């Protein structure tokens, strides 16, 4: 280590000891040796020109370069001790061997009773099981199974998407009342606010009931917006597609107004022949959508997923014509609107597409996902 006196310090370089106050000194690493290995360079001003030669007997010579414009300092040989708890060791292990540890992974590790040796042995067994018995999983396969998002018919990508049935595994749902389908760069949706007998406000999108809210007010001054017709999209861009995210609408006179309390949750306390409702199990989430078309500054938010497919008479009666206005009700009586339409065509080892699905493209140049280039990782 090269040691210099810190600014505003009265310390001396002549009497440094293990009990010296580190705040009195600036310490710059020069080289290091650990666990009995040869000396090696470290990051810092000496890394480029330092020369270390070590013999087979373990004797090393360091040639420390002279750097210009350095203040007065001295070189010291310092030793440091460092240790990790078993949990920290396992956390570091998972950080290096997976895409990141969770607390459940760390806490459920079999630490045994013999300290580090047991931990090291368990790591070796874990690696061996990953290589020998754990089924292979692929990022691309995971993505293709879960890719989902709005099928906005005004976007070119709609031509290559197929519908995912709402009762299929990984179908996505959201609690926010206003979604990306209601807001796009080509046209606007009409929001109709109708006051109900109890003073609440029914909000409908293009004539279809969507949610009932307790208040319908201007975010800036708290004034009631009242019943009427408003526009969502096209000219008023300040909207977030997440629950309670920013919601901005255009009034009849063309003013852009931000709505107090933001994007409300789905809440229809009555039935309507314009809206289909089905019963759902508990959904997993919320999480970010695996894939969603984004444009301009619109923020897309959380979605919930159906962990496994469901089979019921309600599901059998559903067709694509009912997908846009489909509400699911979970056991805790929360309401979710169906959010997903994308279902990627099969392109697997068992049934590959030679052109990556190019035969589904309507207009040249609209390809979104083709076969990857061949490499050692996908030789099959």
For residue range 277-325, what is the model confidence (pLDDT) as tens digits? 999 999 998 887 665 555 444 455 678 989 899 988 999 888 888 888 9
Domain ranges in the chain are 1-82, 89-132, 156-338
pLDDT digits (tens, 9 = 90+) for 262-287: 999 999 999 999 999 999 999 998 88
pLDDT of the residue at 296: 45
**Whole-angstrom Cα distance, residue 182 to residue 188?**
7
pLDDT of the residue at 358: 60
Output DSSP code: residue 29: -
Residue 329 burial (10 A CB sphere; 0-12, 13-18, 19+): middle
Instruction: Compare 359 and 139 and report the one with higher pLDDT.
Output: 139
Q: Which H or E run includes 142?
A: helix 139-146
pLDDT of the residue at 175: 93
Is-cis flag, bond preceding 286, omega within 30?
Answer: yes
Instruction: Compare 329 and 36 and report the one with higher pLDDT.
Output: 329
pLDDT digits (tens, 9 = 90+) for 352-371: 766 665 665 555 555 555 55
CB-based contact 228:234 (threshold 8 Å): no
Given a cut of 60, whether residue 115 has pLDDT beyond it is no
Whose tokens are 């650990």? That residue is 34
Per DSSP, the three-state class of 210 is: strand
Which residues, in sequence order, are CB contacts of 321 under 8 Å at separation 6+?
none
Strand partners, 192: 204, 229
pLDDT digits (tens, 9 = 90+) for 221-231: 999 999 999 99
CB-based contact 192:207 (threshold 8 Å): yes
Given a cut of 50, whether residue 156 has pLDDT beyond it is no
- How does the average pLDDT of the chain come out, rounded? 83
């Amino acid at each position: 280590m090269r040691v210099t006196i810190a600014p505003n310090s009265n310390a001396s370089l002549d009497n440094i000891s293990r009990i010296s106050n580190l705040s009195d000194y600036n310490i710059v690493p020069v080289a290091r040796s650990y666990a009995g290995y040869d000396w090696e360079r470290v990051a810092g001003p000496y890394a480029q020109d330092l020369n270390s030669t070590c013999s087979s007997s373990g004797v090393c010579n360091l040639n420390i370069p002279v750097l210009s414009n350095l203040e007065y300092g001295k070189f010291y040989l310092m030793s440091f001790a460092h240790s990790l708890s078993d949990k920290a060791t396992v956390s570091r292990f998972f950080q290096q061997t997976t895409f990141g540890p969770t607390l459940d992974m760390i806490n459920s590790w079999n630490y045994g009773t013999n300290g580090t040796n047991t931990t090291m042995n368990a790591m070796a067994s874990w690696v061996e099981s990953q290589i020998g018995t754990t089924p292979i999983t692929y990022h691309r396969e995971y993505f293709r199974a879960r890719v989902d998002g709005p099928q906005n018919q005004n976007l070119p990508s709609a031509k290559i998407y197929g519908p995912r049935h709402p009762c299929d595994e990984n179908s996505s749902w959201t609690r926010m009342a206003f979604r990306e389908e209601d807001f796009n760069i080509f046209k606007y949706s009409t929001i109709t606010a109708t006051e109900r007998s109890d003073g609440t406000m029914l909000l409908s999108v293009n004539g279809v009931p969507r949610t009932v809210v307790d208040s319908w007010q201007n975010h800036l001054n708290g004034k009631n917006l009242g019943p009427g017709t408003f526009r969502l999209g096209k000219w008023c861009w300040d909207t977030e597609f997440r629950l309670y995210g920013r919601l901005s609408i255009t009034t009849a006179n063309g003013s852009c107004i931000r709505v107090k309390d933001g994007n409300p949750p789905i809440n229809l306390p009555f039935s309507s022949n314009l809206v289909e409702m089905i019963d759902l199990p508990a959904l997993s989430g919320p999480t970010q959508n695996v894939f969603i078309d984004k444009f301009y500054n619109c923020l897309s938010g959380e979605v919930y997923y159906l962990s496994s497919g469901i089979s019921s008479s309600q599901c059998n009666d559903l067709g694509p014509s009912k997908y846009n206005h489909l509400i699911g009700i979970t056991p805790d009586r929360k309401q979710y609107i169906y959010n997903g339409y994308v279902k990627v065509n099969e392109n697997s080892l068992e049934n590959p597409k030679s052109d990556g699905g190019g035969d589904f493209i309507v207009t040249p140049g609209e390809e979104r996902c083709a076969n990857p280039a061949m490499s050692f990782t996908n030789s099959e």
